Amino acid sequence: MSTIQQESGRFSISMDCIQDFEFRVKFDKSSYQDLLMDEPPPVGQDHAPNPSRLLAAAVGGCLSASLLFSARKLRLNMQGMHTEVSVQQTRNEKGRLRIGKIEVEITPQIEEPDPHKLQRCRDLFEDFCVVTQSVRNGIDVAVNVK
């Protein structure tokens, strides 16, 4: 068995339509709170983030966690971090809305940064980001409508 197969895990979530385009997401761990999603008008009521915003949060959150992980491994004293994620929506050749670009700006607060360790951290952290690397490389999505 390869290292990737040994380390890969499987998890699942479930979603139920509450009303119109509002969905409740239930996670596979009872300690996690449910999450609501909704679409903006004209189809939804914009009561909760839509999937595009959750994708932006997933990319930004994973990159931030990866930077923190790398900084800790290199013993950089991170005191805090602020992340801004900007999403550019675009239309494809059929006029369908798509995520065209995601820009992430991370501002770590590091006490007495060692320039060599800081550069090493910058060079490595993106490779640890599961979500960003998966999005960049494309994800195999299988869909089955029963």
Residue 63 pLDDT class (50, 70, 90 cuts): very high
State pTM to two decimals.
Answer: 0.89
HSE (side-chain half, CA atoms, 13 Å) at 117: 15
> For the chain, where are the alpha helices, taking DSSP H only?
3-7, 51-73, 115-124, 130-137
Q: For the chain, give every domain's residue range.
A: 11-49, 50-138
Homologous superfamily (CATH) of 50-138 is K homology (KH) domain (3.30.300.20)
Give the long-range contacts of residues 10-18, CB within 8 A, separation 24 or more. none
Query: Residue 69: is its pLDDT beyond 80?
Result: yes
3-state class of 37 per DSSP?
strand
Strand order in the sheet with 14-19: 14-19, 22-26, 35-37
Percent of the chain with pLDDT over 90: 86
Number of H helices, E strands in the chain: 4, 5
